[in-house]
Amino acid sequence: MEDDPFLRKFQPSELKIASEFLTNCLPFLSRDLCKDCVNVLSDRIRSLDPEHCSKVGGEGNSKAGLESEGTSNIETEISFGTLSEVLGSVLPSRQAAETASPRMSWADMSQDDEFEEEDEEEESRKAIDASPMKTPEKPKLSREQREDLRLKNVKRKKDFICLERFKGKLVNVVDGLELHTGVFSAVEQKRIVDKVYELEERGRKGELRERTFTAPQKWMRGKGRVTIQFGCCYNYATDRAGNPPGILQREEVDPLPSLFKVIIRRLIRWHVLPPTCVPDSCIVNIYDEGDCIPPHIDNHDFLRPFCTISFLSECNILFGSNLKIEGPGEFSGSFSVPLPVGSVLVLNGNGADVAKHCVPAVPTKRISITFRKMDESKRPVWFTPEPDLQRIEPLPLDLNRSDSAARSSGSSNNHNGSNRRGGGYGRRGGNNYETRGYYNPERSSEQYESREWSSSQRRGRPRPGRTS
């Protein structure tokens, strides 16, 4: 090691860090390698820090440990690079190591927040299973510091424009819409989705109240999405008993799950919804491929604003004062908004009351959760306000920075375009969001800010093909 000119550029402490890092990654790096290759790689890594490796060796044979991690016995031909090449991708230069500040991933920053407190023991067990060897301690930040850091990275777009004639006047029918991205990390999204699947399973087993869970037959394309309602039972259309659309005050459903109340507190504290309109009910929509929501305006039994959160896959939502039904699950309208995975769309003003909205048939599995506050005079007779949803205070927010970010993120797609069958952002260009999996706030927010609209969209001409 002393003869390697590359390694002589680093201090022993830096080599020790590299050794610990590569040791922890060794089960992954050595997967599918033969035993001889694993031993060669292990010896090279251990040679970086003999002191550390002697401690590890004292606890047991390292080769046996590697075998217990499940290394493969398959013979594989592979040529390793030099140790210098391996370390070149791991060790920074000495100057960079001295000046770089510690970075934490979004998943790291969410480890101690309210979502993690819902299942702390389970997360601790997973962490132990995934880390058989001691890892370097991560920078310690308080919960307040982590939350403040994440809050500053939320992207907010509030300047949607779609001009249409309404009652003889030219009106921005989407005024009041807001799109917030970066509110939920990938870790949090997975916890929410897992909870939804758990509730769906309980509903199918009959463990939820009858009006809480609904799974109608899929008698045609676009019909039959699964719904789970909490806080109130909402009637979409006049039923056999003659009850009109709206909240059924004498029908009982299950109360909000504890994790959903954590989500509501996040929405209020992070300035997504105002503290004057704290949701007390929600509906979960579970879409299979081809499911949709037809054009509608949400019933005024619910106050404004309300919001919907998207999970699993991106889809488009259409807006317009005159949405048209083109066929089963196929709609056309004047304005389309892409909903990235993990994003929160807030509906208020004209966007909630003048423009109708709909979701064309989705191309793949999707989950949405819509949170709404009931009009007090329309609440069910059995309803009792949740004590832990009272007096929620928003966190301090740098308004100047927030407004600037909103203008920046909205400048590239602040136009009135004509979109057919989910149009607006066609599959052939303009939309670089991940279409499945969990939302990556750092990558997707950057793409959202930098998206360019085509000249055909600026002129309001429709783009070919459905992009839902």
pTM value?
0.63
The CATH T-level fold of domain 150-389 is Jelly Rolls (2.60.120)
**Residue 327, φ and ψ in degrees, nearest 5:** 170, 180
| Res 45: pLDDT | 81
Q: Which two tokens stand for residue 213?
A: 């869970």
| Res 429: pLDDT | 34
The span from the CA of 277 to the CA of 273, in Å, is 7
* Half-sphere exposure for 394 (CA within 13 Å, toward CB): 16
Are the C-beta atoms of 275 and 394 separated by less than 8 Å? yes
Residue linked to tokens 């850091």: 149
Q: Which two tokens stand for residue 2?
A: 């002393």
Span(s) in the chain for CATH 2.60.120.590: 150-389
Max distance between CA atoms of the chain, in angstroms, equals 88
Averaged over 336-355, what is the pLDDT? 98
Positive or negative, the CA dihedral 76, 81, 82, 85 is negative
Greatest mean pLDDT range, 48-62, 87-101, 243-257: 243-257
Q: Which residues, at least 6 apart from 262, have a Cβ–Cβ distance to it below 8 Å? A: 114, 115, 118
| Res 457: pLDDT | 36
- Per-residue pLDDT band for 32 (boundaries 50, 70, 90) equals confident
| Res 138: pLDDT | 63
The span from the CA of 370 to the CA of 1, in Å, is 60
* Mean pLDDT of the chain, nearest integer: 75
Instruction: Kindly report which listed range (113-117, 120-124, 351-355, 417-421) carries the lowest average pLDDT score.
Output: 417-421
The span from the CA of 144 to the CA of 151, in Å, is 10
| Res 136: pLDDT | 63
